[in-house]
Amino acid sequence: MKHKPKLGQNFLVDADAARRIAEALGDITTETVLEIGPGHGAITGLLAERAGHLICVELDRALAAELRFRFRNATNVQILEADILTVDLSALRPENGKLRVIGNLPYYITSDILLHLCRHASAIDTAVVMMQREVADRVAASPGSRDYGVLSVSVQRHADVSSMLTLPPSAFSPPPDVFSTVLHLRMRDRSSELGVLNDAAFTRLLRAAFAQKRKTLGNNLRSAGYSPDRIRAACEAAGVTSDLRAEALSVSQFAALYHALGASPS
Ligand code: SAM
């Protein structure tokens, strides 16, 4: 199989894994499924047999054409040639439900795609997504663990994350240099629990808090320009102490800190 490394093309050749991934979406007979990066269709074929409506977004023109030809008689399958990051996912949401998202993600933009899914979380029920194992570990990490950071909080703010399956490089052609993990994201609306948050400002706070992992939360926030008095008052209001490291804070503690601190240092 020809492939374009720049587009993260490592095609799944393990048929059993493809089946397990497709089945992880549950009963999709009446659902709208969005597949990100279908490639040669290792998972697509299995989805097309079962999905009420299947929308595939593939950036590679030749692959999109190949899939259009393969599924030319399947009335439930739609192939879009596009960069997934430019697709308005909320516009694809079915009238009476939410999207089921699936994909063996192109690894060069995994984090961007995850954050794109999070921005459209209210349009998505579940996402089953494969990525480099190290990135999956960061997404799924719990507070207090070494891997817990900006990506963990950003995704867990919108989803309950669980790890489903890890595959060796030999499951792909060509084999990547890394192991891959499939994550199951159950999107949930935590806006009433966490309060309405300005995404960009919240992310700025996370970046500041995690800027230097060995420094305390207080020192990192001071380096970002917050005054010691403001940090002390905000930590007190959020029920945390400034001598903790950011990795100790839960998603809801970050949300509380965000509210108490205000959006920007100045
Ligand atoms: N789903 C196939 C499989 O499991 O064999 C292919 C997975 S491969 C890791 C990633 C796929 O995403 C490739 O087909 C690649 O062309 C496509 N892709 C890369 N960048 C993309 C983007 N920005 N938007 C949509 N698809 C993209």
Q: What per-residue confidence (pLDDT) applies to 197?
A: 72
Q: Is 149 in the pocket of ligand 1 (CB under 6 A)?
A: no
What is the residue whose two structure tokens read 């308005």?
A: 88
User: What tokens does 92 get?
Assistant: 């694809």
pTM score of the predicted model: 0.95
Half-sphere exposure of 151 (CA within 13 A, CB side): 16
Question: Dihedral, CA atoms, 172, 33, 149, 236, nearest 10 degrees?
Answer: -170
Q: Does residue 180 line the site of ligand 1, with CB under 6 A?
A: no
Pocket of ligand 1, candidates 40, 44, 104, 110: which has the most ligand atoms within 8 Å of its Cβ, to mutate? 104
For each of the chain's 266 residues, which pLDDT tens digit applies?
578 889 989 999 999 999 999 999 999 999 999 999 999 999 999 999 999 999 999 999 999 999 999 999 999 999 999 999 999 999 999 998 999 999 999 999 999 999 999 999 999 999 999 999 999 999 999 999 999 999 999 999 999 999 999 999 999 999 999 999 999 999 998 877 888 678 889 999 999 999 998 999 999 999 999 999 999 999 999 999 999 999 999 999 999 999 999 756 76
Pocket of ligand 1 contains residue 39 by CB under 6 Å: yes
80 CB under 6 A from ligand 1? no
Report how far ligand 1's centroid is from the alpha carbon of 38 (Å).
Answer: 6
Does ligand 1 have an atom closer than 6 angstroms to the CB of 84?
Answer: yes
Nearest CA to ligand 1 atom 4: 12
Predicted confidence at residue 266, as pLDDT, reads 61
Q: How far is the CA of 86 from the centre of ligand 1 (A)?
A: 14
pLDDT in tens, 58-117: 999 999 999 999 999 999 999 999 999 999 999 999 998 999 999 999 999 999 999 999
Question: What pLDDT is recorded for position 263?
Answer: 58
Identify the pLDDT of residue 1. Answer: 57
pLDDT at 53: 98
